[in-house]
Structure 1
Amino acid sequence: MKLYHYINPKLLLFASAVRQGLDGDLSTKPYSATDPVERVESGIPAEMAALEMEDEQPPSKELQTIFDDIVETLSLRSINSDYRTLALWPTYLNAVWGQLKPKIQTATYVTASEHLRDRSRSLASSLPYPVPLSRARLEEEGIDFDQTLQSAEAFEQLLPGLIINIALCLREWQPDDESLRSPFPAKAISPRLQNAAQPELTGGAK
């Protein structure tokens, strides 16, 4: 659960940045060339465990019923990996979903999801390296622009609620102050100036 709590906010920020790039809605307040850009080590944390999860169509009828209810309640295309991981402990998933479902249908929950989505868009617009993702550029790479935009928008709609759900689950057994700390703190490396760090964007970039 800590792993999803760690990953999902980053995925939301990534989805917002991609959606803004596809929309042409890039930052109007670029960083100064003299501003140092914070850098951290890249890659998978050595102490991060591999993700395990139940099949999308589990052999257990009881578990499939829970999956179907989650998909219907959240208007999902398929069951998320987060719930498939929790399904490794079906009794726990059944209990926690019973607690989450009533909250999901409240105005407070909807407002919190919208606030989180807006916050992600605000943070994405302030990233030091906004990447323009024009239709022409994507089509040169053989990527369907409209499908990519739809995917980015879908993730922006999905992830705020998922982040809240995992956070609510964590509150059952972890203090809030611990949840605010990264379980895998990234090691900082020397900052560099933006003008020296700006990546070159070419049509052949991957």
Structure 2
Amino acid sequence: MSEADLDQVVAVLDVFHWLQPQLLLLLAALAEAHEAPSVGGQGRPEPREPSEREQAHIDTTVELAPADAGMLPEVPAELQLDSPPDLYRAIAVWPSYFDAVWDELQHLVAYPLFRQRGRALYFYARSSSRFLAVPLRADEAALRESGMRPYAIAEARDAVDRALPAVATMMMHCTAMRVGLGLREREVVGDA
């Protein structure tokens, strides 16, 4: 891989490393809201400007490989999803890199500590959902009031329940790829 390719891989991994915790939090809030009249509302509702680093992530173009490219068809089965998530499709743009990392990543779930940390991320996100700035209503009554049909509500719940552990695993895979490249700085949302 060329130095320019490596820089692009790092930029893409940084975007996902920054974005995935936010996605996990939103999914966790939706999962919590299934059974509660309201979730969130304890955070700060004031908007803030993105930091320079966050703006760089927002401005990064992420190219996706076709879902059937190379080893990508193996990914959904490992994550119990229907198709390969964007993280893996973005990295598969560099097939030799993706093949090498996927060969290692797919086996991490065999380690008890990996599974334990994945569950911890999931539960931490669920407990943190109370810090959403604006309360979220997504219980069955609220969803029916919004016009959703019972089958659509069931499908949405199933999608959230399947996505939560997958996103936690992807966060750990993304971190493992970054650490493998010598990156240890965290890409987190913070005060500007």
TM over 0.5: yes
Q: 1:137 & 1:74 partners in 2: Cα distance?
A: 30
Quote the residue 1:55 is aligned against.
66
* CA–CA separation in structure 1 for the residues paired with 2:146 and 2:174: 36
User: Aligned to 2:92, which of 87, 96, 119?
Assistant: 87
Q: How many residues align?
A: 172
Task: Give the deviation of 1:121 after TM superposition.
Answer: 0.6
Hey, which bits of structure 1, 4+ residues long, moved more than 6 A?
A: none
Q: State which of 98, 116, 121 in structure 1 corresponds to 2:126.
A: 121
* Change beyond 3 A, Cα 1:50–1:27: same
Q: Which amino acid aligns with 2:129?
A: A
Q: CA deviation at 1:174?
A: 3.5
In 1, Cα distance between the equivalents of 2:129 and 2:44? Answer: 18
Match of 1:193 in 2: none
Match among 164, 170, 183 for residue 172 of structure 2: 164
Structure number, greater radius of gyration:
1
How far residue 186 of structure 1 moved from its aligned partner, in angstroms, is: 5.8
Q: Does residue 22 of structure 2 align to residue 10 of structure 1?
A: yes
Pair 36,159 (structure 1): closer, same or farther in 2 beyond 3 Å: closer
Closer, same or farther: CA 125–102 of 1 in aligned 2, 3 Å? same
State whether residues 21 and 130 of structure 1, in contact with CA within 8 Å, keep that contact through their aligned partners in structure 2. no
**Aligned residues with identical type, % of pairs:** 19
Q: Shift of residue 175 of structure 1?
A: 3.3
Give the Å deviation of 1:185: 5.8
| The 10-residue stretch of structure 1 (105-114 or 73-82) with the greater mean CA deviation from structure 2 | 73-82
Residue 105 and residue 95 in structure 1: after superposition, are their counterparts in 2 closer, same or farther (change >3 A)?
Answer: same
Residues in 1 aligned to 2:27 and 2:44: alpha-carbon distance in whole angstroms:
25
Q: Distance in 1 between matches of 2:94 and 2:31?
A: 35
Report the residue type matching 2:118 in the other structure. S
TM-score, with structure 2 as normaliser:
0.77
Matching residue within 140, 153, 172 for 1:145 = 153
Q: Tell me the equivalent position of 1:69.
A: 74
Instruction: Evaluate the alpha carbon distance shift between residue 27 and residue 136 of structure 1 in structure 2; reply closer, same or farther with a 3 A threshold.
Output: closer
Following superposition, the deviation at residue 83 of structure 1 comes to: 0.7
* Distance in 2 of aligned mates of 1:18 and 1:72: 24
Distance 1:93 1:5 in 2: 17
- Partner SS state of residue 130, structure 1: coil
